[in-house]
């Protein structure tokens, strides 16, 4: 009940913010919060998609995959590419987030012959094994070298 009303107020706040301030504005007062953007990954190719079971078995390695451009491929050139994906986890009822992993995608086709000549590319997709004994929310962050910071979230539970 309290939780639902918190959601409703949060949605109202988001609506007010959206109406008043352009997301990503450079007001120092707004904080890093204002730098992250999100959206529907089906139509916005920068939004990270977190694929994993919604239910983890406590303490068992569980594969988490994060993909950029799952529906529409993102460019991968020296001029325009996904530089990194980072994964965070915040336990339910906690206020302290953990970094789970940080992934740099380093090869974008450049060589001594010029941009897009090496044939070597690292795609912006990564899978790792994570163990947790508590429920919570995974947050994926991603950075496009020219379109900035993007995020998404996925809540998971622990099997009884």
Considering only residues 51 through 90, tell me which ones interact with a second copy, judged by CB under 8 A. 58-59, 61, 78-80, 83, 88-90
Q: Does 38 bind a second copy (CB under 8 A)?
A: yes
Cβ proximity to a second copy: between 27 and 43 the closer is 27
Told to judge if 81 belongs to the known catalytic residues of this protein, a careful annotator would answer no
Distance CA 43, CA 71 (A): 8
Question: Do the beta carbons of residue 147 and residue 100 sit within 8 Å?
Answer: no
- Do 144 and 84 touch, CB atoms closer than 8 A? no
Site for a second copy in 88-107 (CB under 8 A): 88-107
Q: How many CB atoms lie within 10 A of CB 38?
A: 15
β-pairing verdict for 148-158 and 49-51: unpaired
- Bridge partner residues of 142 (DSSP): 85, 150
Asked if 44 is an active-site residue, the reply is yes
Question: Does 154 qualify as catalytic in the annotation?
Answer: no
* Residue 125 binding a second copy, by CB under 8 A: yes
Can 74 be counted among the known catalytic residues? Answer: yes
Instruction: Give the nearest distance from C-beta 42 to a second copy in angstroms.
Output: 18
Contact with a second copy (CB under 8 A): which of 1, 28, 54, 159?
Answer: 28
Neighbours of 26 (CB within 10 A): 8
In the set 70, 74, 81, 125, the catalytic residue is 74
Catalytic, 108? Answer no
Catalytic residue among 55, 60, 73, 80: 80
Residue 125 · residue 23 · CB < 8 Å? no
Give the catalytic positions in this structure.
44-46, 74, 80, 144, 147
């Amino acid at each position: 009940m309290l939780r639902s009303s918190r959601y409703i107020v949060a949605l109202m706040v988001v609506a007010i913010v959206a109406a008043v301030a352009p997301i990503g504005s450079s007001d120092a007062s707004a904080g890093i919060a204002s730098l992250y953007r999100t959206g529907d990954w089906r139509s916005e190719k920068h939004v990270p998609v977190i694929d994993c079971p919604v239910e983890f078995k406590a303490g068992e390695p569980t594969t988490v995959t994060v993909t950029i451009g799952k529906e529409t491929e993102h460019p991968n050139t020296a001029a325009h590419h996904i530089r990194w994906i980072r994964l965070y986890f915040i336990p339910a009822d906690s206020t302290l987030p953990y970094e789970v992993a940080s992934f740099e995608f380093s090869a974008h086709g450049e060589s001594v012959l010029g941009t897009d000549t090496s044939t070597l590319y690292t795609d912006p997709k990564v899978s790792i094994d994570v163990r947790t004994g508590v429920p919570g929310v995974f947050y994926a962050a991603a950075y496009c070298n020219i379109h900035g910071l993007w995020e998404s979230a996925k809540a998971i539970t622990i099997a009884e």
